[in-house]
Structures are given as structure tokens and as C-alpha cells.
Structure 1
């Protein structure tokens, strides 16, 4: 249906199958195929069968999702795109639905009054949807679409930035504030982490990143879980190219007052600190003072309580011996990291965070029953491939997914992962 390394998203009305939009591949699927994908799903539903996904003989993968019995989303991965798992596609559908709810509100989507009008209104979601599609297999290290955790940057001057953010948010009559650096959360208030659902934080971060071209904006948003029918003000301000601060607030303050009084008062004294954050973000998501082993090729660290995540993929091997093999490309390492994460959470570490919300007709994620035969709860797993070795470690507070050089002895992976986790948490309080 599609060529290799392509991904297409279709949106149709659930009752009549009227196409609303198609995003992704530069060569859209023919209308006849779109009709067939909708028809086979409707045929199954009419006979009491729920069609969730399928793979074609040539290697394409199709995933269906119906939301609020109103809209059907279909994700189609191209021929040979084996790195795009069913779990990724299903979470993509969930994130796209949350994106549409955030921009338009649930009432507008659940109760379709005029199809042509809805088509026009959905155009306001295209930029955000396209960003979510790009991140499915991107090479920038964004994993929030897959982990349902906010992609974070751990800045060196976190104390100063946190204090400024708290003061700025309080001055804006709010408790929900966030500082984003190149699309990643640098700092956020306590209520941002505790009161917003993880999926809301992921989509909000993507939304602010998609709006980063404007110097400031006053944008109404609906929180997919917290407030799907009543809009809340989202104020966004560009502090520097690549750095944005945002707050969720009520009718006050006005955009003019916040931009001309509050922003300069709280952030002008920290311009150099913000510049150093940008410089750090260009190199690594971890503080430069943190020195990890040279044979770590990539890692994903998740804080299970706050649903935050940081991805590390070094560009060069600092301190590597002369005989060390060259690093494989960062794109390939991030692809392997996504594959290993999917492997681990579908077999060893399944949890409620990987489930799909009740907004979809799919009540369960496509997790395998592999771990149901265990008499214990797995806390570690490893995998040896032709390109690297992988190790997963789960504790009550964290999950760590580690990719290492093939030269690391398999028996040493456990201690290496434990030491790496301890080093990062001790240095950053993550």
C-alpha cells in the first residue's frame, strides 16, 4: 500500500465512513483502499468482531481505533517499516485523538453536526498532528509518544530556573507552569506534574513546540482528561529561539500584561542561564558534569512517579579506547532503543501506563501474554543483538533501558545498569 519508511494517518466518521483528513505520506492512499479499510472494519463490527490491527503479506501494518463512537482513526505503516510496532501505532492514534480534543474540545468531535464544518476546523490540528507523526521514528530522541512520559532536559542550573518559573507562574495567577527547551520540558511546577495526566503533558509539550514560531500567544485548550469540554487559557511566550515558557491560567492576566510586565521581570535576569540551557540541549539532555561510561550507546530513563523521561544518545565516545568499534548512527541507536523499550514493556514490564484510555473502543493495549506465566514480577531483562546489548531495569521509582557496546560482558550488564542509574539520580535528583 505504501512505500518503505512511510506512515499515513486517516480520519473518518465512524458511522458513515466519510473521510475527514489524511496526513503523513506525500502519496496519499487511493480512495478505494481507504474505503476498503473502513469497510472491513465495519463488516467485522456488524458480525460481532472487533478488528484492531492486521499485517499485509508485503509487510505493511494497519491499526484501527474508534473514539467516542464518532471518529475512526487508521494508521498505516509502509512496506518494510518493521521498526514501527503495533504498540507505537496504537499510541499514535491515542495521541492524535488527544490532540484533536485539546484543540477543538470533545463535544465538537463526539457530536458531529456538520461534516464539512468539522473538516475545516480540523485543519487547525494539522501542524500538531504532523509533529506527532514525525516523532514516531524521529532522530531527535523524542520518546513521549511511545512512553506516554514527558520528554525532559535536565539543565545544570535547575534551581535558578525552577525558582523563576514558580515566581512567574504565581504572578500569572496560576499553579501550572512549564519551561520548554527545544520541545523538551526543562522545568515545571509541582501541579504541572501531579494534576495533569501524562498524556496531557505529552500533547501540551508538542502543542507549545508547534507554536514556538510566534513570540507570544493566548491559546484556548481543552485538557483531554481534566477538562475535555471547557476551554482553559494557555499563555505561551518565546524567551529565546528554542526556549518557551507557558502557563495554564484563568481570565487574568491579559496577554499584554504578561508579555510586557511579567516576562521581562522574571526572565530578563536569566538570559545567560537560558543560553547555557540551549547550548547544553544541543549536546545532551544530561548535565555536562555527568560523565557516563564510554560504552553506553544510548539510554532511556523514566521516572515512574512523575511520568518524566530523559533520552541520552551520545554523538561521540568520550574516553573510548583506540581499538573501540565506531558508533553506529544515532538514528539507528534510537530505533533500537524504541524497539527494546517496546520489547520490554510488552513482555516483562507491562503496567497501566502502557494502556489505552477509555476514550477509544480498544479497552486494552496490544500487550502479549508472555509475562502471565511468571510466578514473580520481573524487574530486569536483557537482550543481545548483532549491533549492541540491551538491558532493562525496573525499580519502584524508575525504569532504565540501556544500550551498550558489544564489548561489555553480558554478566556485567546488571551492575553497569545499576551504577548508571545511581550516577544519574545522584547527580540530578531525577
Structure 2
């Protein structure tokens, strides 16, 4: 799906950067000026321009702290505007994550800010890409479940404590397997952006990155230390000026993680299922997204069954098609029938159709030529399941409820957020 993203100063409309997705020509300077001019004209006449649509595209504007204007132009997929605003919010807070709020809301030197914002390009581009991950769409971080999680939690707690921190996590194939309580206390948007940042960076044995937490610490930087334990597994710690990267790598890494080496290797073998092999699901399920709306955790897989797909009683859909179907289904449902998951202290634009309903929708489904989808909204959970077309429509609700109950038995996913 093609898209344009434009970032400008709010007062003078000076372009700070433009990013594109897809094989499309860059926007001309006059086109950027026209997009910004429409919004400024409305603002000067007391009108807050939020979004509009053409025959083929949709456009959304949002101004942050009266300093930065973000504009997105994207193909119209019929989804709620809430997903456009989420994209813009994620882009702005990506800028805060790597540059800090002070330099963004008090622009003293435009050219310097342009140079500083180049550090955000890869992260912003990751937000625009279609990937196998759902965190940026759901504002709930992608997680990974395995039978080794309890043991790995002990090793992580010990490692983070030795590094004189309380914030740490273990990522398996770019998904959080375990994390400390303080790490989970970060907002959903912070969890998602930190995970996205790790995915956007080149592979490295270790890293030391200055980051600002957009909600928790937008003006004071922390250091994000990352260490590759084995291929596909990284340990991450948020800390202050100490300890140094060399100290953690040379004195702590082997001591705390070498005893867990076999557990780490066993954990990797669960990928790409992302859930333990002991969890048995209906053979008609092709994939699912499960969201814990309290804890901002998202469990997703396109390989829900351990059986060889060629032996399953349904047409095999490609990985990209499964992801595309589930993402489209999610965007069609959330913001229209189900309430979106939001981080605190966020300015929300009250245009979601579900907000106008006199009751909360609990279920919805669609049937395509070669698939069926069912969504269930159950208190703290939202689940979106992709089925083969052979599954009877009358069985979708019961099977989805059974799947939800099976998955939330894992305490790591169902654990309530501490107040």
C-alpha cells in the first residue's frame, strides 16, 4: 500500500522530512505546501482539520505541541480514521524517543533539527512497512510464549538487578518473551516503540543507545543496552549513566546467561508458532491476533498448528496473505465496532463510530471466498481469528471462545497489570 508522510514546522510550514512507502514518486515541494496550506487555512478560520478523503486516498493532519505538523496520505482501505491517527502518534513519539521532547517543541535551529531527525528515519520507515508484526497497529507489544519463560524470567531478573536496573526484557525473534515488572509498567506505546527500534536497527552483538521514554521520561534520556545472546535472542536493559556497556558485557553477560543457554535454544524452536507446542488449537485456524487490552500485550501467529500445513483440511494461504487479511479485518473492526487500545495521556479524536453506539459490540465476523474471520471482544481481551473457508459459519463463535480460553490459561499473558 502506497503512502506519503510529511513532517513540517507548525508555525512556518518548513519541511523537516518526507518519507514514502511503495513505488511512488516523491511529493513535489508545491504539493507539500498545498497539503500544509489547506490545514493552516482551516486553522486560521477557527476550524480544526482532521481528515478528508478523495476517490482513492485518505489524508490526515495532526499538530503536536503547536510545534510539529504531521500529514499522512494513504490509499483508502475503508478503515476507521483511528488507525491514521495512531500512525501519526507513533511517528511523533518515535521522534521524541530518539531526539527528546525539548528539541521538538522548542525549535531553535531548524537545520540542526533536520539533521537530528535523520536518526528517526529507519524507525519511521518501519512504521510505514507491512510486516509480520501487529504491535504498532494494536498499540500492544508483540510477545512470545514458550514453556521456558518461567526459567528465563529468573535469569532476566538476576541479570537486570546485577546491571543496577529494574527495567529489562528478553526478546525472542523480535518479540518480548519475558520482562521485569517495571518494563511492563511502561505505556503500550513505549513498549511498542522500543521493540520497533530494536527491529529497525542493524544486527549487532551489543548496543548502547540513548532513548527518551515518550510518556515516562520525554526530556531526560536513558541508555538502552542490548546484547545478542544467541541468534534471534537479545537481552535488553534500560539504565542510567552506569554501568558501562563493556562492564555489563564482560562481567555480567556470561555469568547470568550461560546457564540458560539450553533454555534459550529450546525457546527458539517454538518460532514461528510463537506459542508452546503443548497448546492445541482447532485445525481450522489459520492464524490469530490476541490482545490483552490491560497489559498492552499482543500474541499473534500465522502458524497456529504444529501439523504439516499440507495435511490440513483447507486451502493453504501464503504468509503475506494471512497477515494482510488479519490486519485488514482488525482495521475494519477496531474503531468501528470495538474500541481501540490507547496509551494514557493521549489526545484522542472522537470520530470512532463505536463511540456513538449505545452498546458495546461483542462479536463480528466476515466470510471471504477462501477464508472466514471472527472477532470477539471480551472484557480485557480482543481476539481476531482467521479460519479456513471449510469451517462452518455457525461454529466460528464457539471455536473462537474456546481458543481464547485456551490461550489465556498462560499466566504470562493473563497476568494483571499491577497498579
Normalised to the residue count of structure 2, the TM-score between the two structures is 0.91
User: Equivalent residue for 1:110?
Assistant: 105
Q: 1:384 to 1:310 in 2, by over 3 A?
A: same
Distance 1:354 1:306 in 2: 10
- The answer to whether the 8 Å contact 2:228/2:234 transfers is yes
Q: 1:418 to 1:314 in 2, by over 3 A?
A: same
- Unpaired stretches in structure 1, ≥5 consecutive residues: none
TM-superposed CA distance for 1:241, in Å, is 2.8
User: Equivalent residue for 1:148?
Assistant: 139
Distance 1:349 1:84 in 2: 12
Query: After the TM superposition, which residues 8-157 of structure 1 pair with which residues of structure 2 at under 5 Å, given as runs?
Result: 8-25=4-21, 27-57=25-55, 59-78=56-75, 82=77, 86-134=81-129, 137-138=130-131, 140=132, 142-157=133-148
Distance 2:239 2:345 in 1: 28
1:230 and 2:220 aligned: yes
TM-superposed CA distance for 1:389, in Å, is 2.1
TM-superposed CA distance for 1:224, in Å, is 0.6
SS of the aligned residue for 1:346 comes to coil
- The answer to whether the 8 Å contact 1:222/1:229 transfers is yes
User: Equivalent residue for 1:213?
Assistant: 203
Query: After the TM superposition, which residues 265-304 of structure 1 pair with which residues of structure 2 at under 5 Å, given as runs?
Result: 265-281=255-271, 283-304=272-293
Q: 1:170 to 1:212 in 2, by over 3 A?
A: farther
SS of the aligned residue for 1:353 comes to coil
Distance 1:85 1:330 in 2: 25
User: Equivalent residue for 1:349?
Assistant: 338
User: Equivalent residue for 1:337?
Assistant: 326
- The answer to whether the 8 Å contact 1:294/1:319 transfers is no
Query: After the TM superposition, which residues 173-322 of structure 1 pair with which residues of structure 2 at under 5 Å, given as runs?
Result: 173-194=164-185, 196-211=186-201, 213-281=203-271, 283-314=272-303, 318=307
1:402 and 2:385 aligned: yes
Distance 1:55 1:418 in 2: 37
Q: 1:35 to 1:356 in 2, by over 3 A?
A: farther
User: Equivalent residue for 2:402?
Assistant: 419
- The answer to whether the 8 Å contact 2:80/2:332 transfers is no
SS of the aligned residue for 2:288 comes to strand
Deviations 1:360-393 (A, max 9, x none): xxx415411x56343x433222233334222222
TM-superposed CA distance for 1:189, in Å, is 0.8
Normalised to the residue count of structure 1, the TM-score between the two structures is 0.89
- The answer to whether the 8 Å contact 1:153/1:285 transfers is yes
- Unpaired stretches in structure 2, ≥5 consecutive residues: 414-419
- The answer to whether the 8 Å contact 2:375/2:385 transfers is yes
Deviations 1:215-263 (A, max 9, x none): 2222221111111111112111121232211111122222111111111
Q: State the Cα RMSD in Å.
A: 2.3
Q: 1:295 to 1:206 in 2, by over 3 A?
A: same
- The answer to whether the 8 Å contact 2:80/2:335 transfers is no
Distance 2:32 2:323 in 1: 31
TM-superposed CA distance for 1:415, in Å, is 1.1
**Count of aligned pairs:** 411
Q: 1:315 to 1:187 in 2, by over 3 A?
A: closer
- The answer to whether the 8 Å contact 2:166/2:182 transfers is yes
Q: 1:322 to 1:258 in 2, by over 3 A?
A: closer
User: Equivalent residue for 1:364?
Assistant: 349
Distance 1:379 1:323 in 2: 30
- The answer to whether the 8 Å contact 2:314/2:389 transfers is no
TM-superposed CA distance for 1:165, in Å, is 0.6
